[in-house]
């Protein structure tokens, strides 16, 4: 019995010198072509978060910001009541001045009239005086403020029109309430039946300032943010999780070890590196390998100028010059002990 298990284990283990990178590339690439056909546009579904191939490309390219960042906020206390969770969600939701007020500019008098919607404020439980204080704090030295009830009048002293428009836009995006960048929070249940808040935008640093938010379980789909907040290992795990779930949604079964290898390759340098010309392939030590990939002339010219050396240790270089590649049996070198008698 144990012998059988041992034999099976040996069969499963990969042989030394196997080209695992190529296997990974093929195993992820082939189902990737299938995904394109199935998922670029889904009929009747509003495409909120990129899924399928676009999302995979986003992860692999190590984009600074995903197209649609999404945060999953877990709470410290496991509420059974949905209402309490909704209350917190309301607290988090960002409200800008333009959401609660109407703007009209008078270009002749150089004035801006802000009409605050009373019903809207009451619904969001915002204090009218608080808003006015926030507006006042934003005013420059040349702007005066008059207010009466829900009307606020900003009088400027001969401000150029362009500046006036700029100032109105600034006032429109005045932050009033909630967490910066967080919008449309939705309360949902996860697989384990726990309430959580899913919201657009990504701003974990500010969210963690809330007492109800559990900083050890809340996450985002923004891998760069995770890298900045939690470090390289967390980023690697995030890459694995994101890729695995996107492929799972598409019902594409790629072995998780392939994804792990890709994520490891993206994070060896201690920072998240994209796969491609500017990242992994562009940082290879071998000149010939880089030149064989993209921007051939650039790499060759730079190598000539800087007097770079190529030790011909990689696969690409050896294919290029027609030598056996250091893979599989080609990896083994034979040295003979020279004995003199």
Partner 1 sequence: MAKVRKRKISNFENAPIVHYLIPKHEILSEEEEKKILEKYNVTKEQLPRIKIDDPAIRHMNPKKGDIIKIYREDKHAKSIYYRVVV
Examine residue 260 and tell whether it contacts partner 1 (CB under 8 A). Answer: yes
Rule CB under 8 A: say whether 51 interacts with partner 1: no
Q: Which stretches of 126-231 are DSSP H helices? A: 128-138, 161-172, 204-207, 223-230
Based on CB atoms, which residue is closest to partner 1, 153 or 198?
198
Examine residue 293 and tell whether it contacts partner 1 (CB under 8 A): no
Find the binder of partner 1 among 269, 294, 295, 309 (CB under 8 A). Answer: 269
State residue 195 phi and psi, 5-degree precision: -75, 135
CB 256 within 8 A of CB 240: yes
Single residue of 174, 234, 303, 320 touching partner 1 by CB under 8 A: 234
CA dist 174 and 200 (Å) reads 19
With CB under 8 A, what is the number of residues at the site for partner 1?
26
Return the residue of 43, 270, 307, 322 that touches partner 1, per CB under 8 A.
270
Task: Residue 228: count other Cβ atoms within 10 Å of its Cβ.
Answer: 13
Residues 164 to 223: which contact partner 1 by CB under 8 A? 215-217, 219
The 75-114 contact track toward partner 1, x by CB under 8 A, reads ----------------------------------------
> For 189-193, which contacts have Cβ atoms below 8 Å and span 24 or more sequence positions?
none
Q: Which is nearer to partner 1, 146 or 217 (CB)?
A: 217
**Does 240 contact partner 1 by CB under 8 A?**
yes
CA separation for the pair 73, 200 (Å, rounded) = 11
26 binds partner 1, rule: CB under 8 A: no
**By CB under 8 A, residue 283 contacts partner 1:** no
Q: How far apart are CA 158 and CA 143, in angstroms?
A: 10
Should residue 264 be labelled a site residue for partner 1 when binding is judged by CB under 8 A? yes
Check binding of 326 to partner 1 (CB under 8 A). no
The one among 267, 289, 291, 318 contacting partner 1 by CB under 8 A: 267
* Interaction between residue 292 and partner 1 (CB under 8 A): no
Q: Does 229 bind partner 1 (CB under 8 A)?
A: yes
Under rule CB under 8 A, residue 303 binds partner 1: no
Using the minimum distance from each CB to partner 1, give the nearer residue, 25 or 232: 232
State phi, psi for 15 to the nearest 5 degrees. -75, 145
Contact at 8 Å (CB) between 326 and 313?
Answer: yes
CB nearer to partner 1: give 96 or 234.
234
Task: Quote the strand ranges of the chain, DSSP E.
Answer: 70-73, 95-96, 101-106, 111-116, 143-148, 151-156, 175-177, 183-189, 195-200, 219-220
Separation CA 269–CA 280 (nearest Å)? 10
Which range of residues in 83-91, 105-113, 236-244, 329-337 is near partner 1 by CB under 8 A? 236-244
Residues 6+ away with beta carbon under 8 Å from 168: 103, 105, 112
Only segment of 41-49, 92-100, 149-157, 264-272 that touches partner 1 (CB under 8 A):
264-272
Asked if 107 and 164 count as a contact pair (C-beta separation under 8 A), the reply is yes
Instruction: Give me the least distance between CB of 112 and partner 1, in Å please.
Output: 36
Structure token pair of residue 26: 């093929």
Positions touching partner 1 (CB under 8 A) are 215-217, 219, 226, 228-234, 237-238, 240-241, 244, 256-257, 260, 264, 267-271
């Amino acid at each position: 019995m144990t012998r059988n298990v041992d034999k099976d284990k040996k069969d499963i283990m990969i042989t030394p010198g196997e080209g695992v990178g190529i296997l990974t590339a093929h195993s992820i690439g082939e189902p990737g072509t299938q995904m394109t056909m199935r998922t670029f546009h889904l009929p009747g579904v509003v495409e909120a978060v990129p899924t399928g191939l676009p999302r995979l490309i986003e992860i692999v390219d190590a984009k600074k910001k995903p197209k649609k960042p999404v945060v999953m906020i877990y709470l410290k206390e496991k509420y059974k009541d949905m209402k309490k969770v909704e209350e917190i969600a309301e607290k988090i939701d960002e409200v800008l001045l333009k959401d609660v007020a109407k703007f009209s500019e008078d270009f002749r008098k150089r004035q801006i009239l802000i009409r605050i919607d009373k019903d809207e404020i009451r619904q969001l439980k915002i204090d009218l005086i608080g808003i006015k204080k926030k507006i006042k704090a934003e005013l420059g030295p040349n702007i005066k403020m008059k207010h009466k009830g829900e009307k606020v009048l900003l009088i400027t002293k001969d401000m150029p029109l362009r500046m006036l428009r700029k100032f109105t836009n600034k006032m429109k995006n005045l932050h009033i309430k909630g967490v910066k960048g967080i919008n449309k929070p939705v309360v949902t249940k996860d697989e384990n039946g726990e309430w959580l808040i899913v919201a657009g935008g990504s701003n974990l640093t500010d969210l963690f300032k809330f007492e109800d938010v559990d900083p050890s379980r809340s996450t985002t789909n923004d891998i760069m943010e995770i890298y900045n907040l939690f470090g390289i290992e967390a980023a690697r795990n995030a890459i694995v999780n994101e890729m695995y779930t996107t492929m799972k949604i598409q019902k594409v079964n790629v072995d998780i070890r392939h994804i792990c290898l890709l994520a490891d390759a993206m994070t060896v340098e201690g920072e998240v590196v994209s796969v491609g010309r500017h990242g992994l392939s562009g940082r290879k030590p071998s000149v010939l390998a880089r030149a064989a990939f993209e921007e051939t002339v650039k790499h060759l010219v730079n190598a000539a100028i800087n007097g770079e050396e190529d030790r011909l240790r990689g696969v690409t270089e050896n294919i290029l010059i027609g030598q056996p590649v250091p893979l599989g049996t080609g990896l083994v070198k034979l040295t003979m002990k020279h004995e003199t008698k």
